[in-house]
Amino acid sequence: MQKSDPNRIIIFDTTLRDGEQSPGATMNLSEKILMARQLDLLGVDIIEAGFAASSPGDFEAISAISREIDNAVVCSLARTDIHDIDRAAESLAHAKKKRIHTFVATSPLHMQYKLNMKPDEVLRSVENAVKHASACVEDVEFSCEDASRSDLDFMVQACQIAVDNGAKTLNIPDTVGYAQPAEHAARIAYLKERVSPDIVISVHCHNDLGLAVANTLASFQAGARQAETTICGIGERAGNAALEEIIMAITVRRHLYRLGHGIKTEHIYPTARVLSRIIGHTIARNKPIVGANAFAHESGIHQAGVLKNPETYEIMTPATIGLPSNAIVLGKHSGKNAVKAKLEDMGYHLESEQINQVLAAVKRLADVKKDIYDEDLEALVLEEVYRIPDRYALVHLGVQTSDSGVPPTAALVLDVSGKRVQHAGFGVGPIDAVFKAIDKVTGHSPKLEQFSVNAITGGTDAQGEVTVRISENNRNAVGRGSHPDIINASARAYLNALNRLSRKEEDN
């Protein structure tokens, strides 16, 4: 993708590659496809779908996403290694628009201790890799890993070799979040003065010092025109520059930055919600743009001001980012057409049988919950359609608890690979009793690393959303479950995590 409008920012989203490297953020294939569709709906220019040579799973995901995506460029990461580049090209075979993103470290520290390569060897690898990638696809991006700690002139030399051999985009990553805004902007300006004006300069900023967004915005002012981002800033260590923060900064302060973009901002909040549900990470309440407190006002002075004019304390409207009004739209009498229309409005394009699955779940939920909101429907989609095939599934659950000195008891029936198995047992609390009963039936005994509960909507009849993180035999998994009954939701989340662990064991 070459730059056409010099004042338009290209959004390169790496949620599915760098973002998935965030601890506990692993996605299965169907979840990656769902997230890719959502990113395409959001309007990102480039989706980095994975690192094809890193694993068969990444290769499969890139291939599947390549078939699914209509608008965005689909990209695969590759080291400056011919095998990596060939795998990337193969994985992108069915993409309508494709990019290979190849990289090598250029800092003295990385070249000596990680690569064990001399500078001239690194430069030769750049030449060979970019030349080979350019023969495979028209759109090639080159990155100087750890650029913010690289010698400026050596970095420029590597970039010029990449351009001479066909690279259209040069990416300057702050790989370890070391740079400061003025410093990173100066680095971008130095490179911009020395390469062709037709080359797009990109930045990929990490958040180790909390400056990823600030460094990205400073780089725009120095001439960078591509930002490598993730939804909610997820990524390895402290994460990446958050797409929603960058986009709303240049949208709200358009007269300062004078930059455009292709993001449909009304899809920002739904996209963040989809990601949160998929990876089981709750969005922090004070998260800029998409957190629950972003448009909340508790102070009396603030409330009075907002009631008189929202602009007194709100620099953007909730509707700008697609924050829903929680209008009731579905119930037990809703039909398939209504569910389909609502799902498509939310960005979910499902097959007929999948819509039937969701409709049946809506009717079941409507029997126990009076009002069904967008968030409820979103939870049902992820629960019914985008979960991995279950080895273990909950059939029935009963719990007894009291303060009379009798230990809490859980009795359950599970479907284990098509066979019904039942068990009852005690625990120090009702959820502990349920988890111990599940362990007895499944033969697992994982360590519970994290347990969190979140209400999907308001009201005492809200669906509870439970997220658990477990570990066993040096493997870990995140599971989620939703149900108006918190104990039932907990059992579903625990079983979902065990199913993921079982899938990892099978894959190995």
Identify the domain boundary among 384, 404, 422. 384
Whole-angstrom distance between the N-terminal and C-terminal Cα of the chain? 38
Mean pLDDT over the full length of the chain: 90
In tens digits, the chain (508 residues) has pLDDT values of 555 688 999 999 999 999 988 877 778 898 999 999 999 999 999 999 999 999 999 999 999 999 999 999 999 999 999 999 999 999 999 999 999 999 999 999 999 999 999 999 999 999 999 999 999 999 999 999 999 999 999 999 999 999 999 999 999 999 999 999 999 999 999 999 999 999 999 999 999 999 999 999 999 999 999 999 999 999 999 999 999 999 999 999 999 999 999 999 999 999 998 998 888 788 888 999 998 888 876 556 665 775 677 778 788 988 899 886 544 457 777 788 888 888 887 778 888 988 999 988 888 888 877 667 777 888 788 778 876 667 899 999 999 987 777 899 999 999 999 899 999 999 999 999 999 999 999 999 999 998 988 877 767 777 788 888 899 988 888 888 888 899 999 999 999 889 888 877 766 6
Report yes or no on 409 lying in a domain: yes
Q: Let me know whether 118 and 242 are in one domain.
A: yes
Confidence (pLDDT) at 346: 75
Strand partners, 124: none
Both tokens of 119, joined, read 């500078």
Confidence (pLDDT) at 127: 98
Query: Biggest alpha carbon distance in the chain?
Result: 79
Report yes or no on 192 lying in a domain: yes
Q: Which CATH number does the domain housing residue 172 bear? A: 3.20.20.70
Q: Let me know whether 448 and 365 are in one domain.
A: no
Report yes or no on 331 lying in a domain: no
Q: Let me know whether 408 and 493 are in one domain.
A: yes
**CA dist 416 to 301, 409, 413, 440, Å?**
57, 21, 9, 12
Report yes or no on 258 lying in a domain: yes
Confidence (pLDDT) at 448: 94
Report yes or no on 97 lying in a domain: yes
Q: Is 44 exposed, middle or buried (0-12, 13-18, 19+ CB in 10 A)?
A: buried
Q: Let me know whether 120 and 203 are in one domain.
A: yes
Q: Let me know whether 116 and 201 are in one domain.
A: yes
Confidence (pLDDT) at 328: 45
- Give the domain range for residue 368: 336-384
User: How many folded domains does the chain comprise?
Assistant: 3
Q: Let me know whether 38 and 106 are in one domain.
A: yes
Identify the domain boundary among 221, 236, 263. 263
Strand partners, 465: 454, 482
Q: Let me know whether 348 and 411 are in one domain.
A: no
Q: Let me know whether 168 and 211 are in one domain.
A: yes
DSSP state of 389: P
Report yes or no on 134 lying in a domain: yes
Q: Let me know whether 373 and 427 are in one domain.
A: no
Q: Let me know whether 353 and 440 are in one domain.
A: no
Report yes or no on 15 lying in a domain: yes
CA distance linking residue 425 with residue 242, whole number of Å: 45
Identify the domain boundary among 263, 284, 314. 263
Both tokens of 127, joined, read 């030449």
Both tokens of 424, joined, read 């009852």
**Among candidates 105, 111, 113, which has minimal Cα distance to 129?**
105
Q: Let me know whether 380 and 396 are in one domain.
A: no
Confidence (pLDDT) at 297: 63
Q: Which CATH number does the domain housing residue 450 bear? A: 3.30.160.270
Q: Let me know whether 479 and 369 are in one domain.
A: no
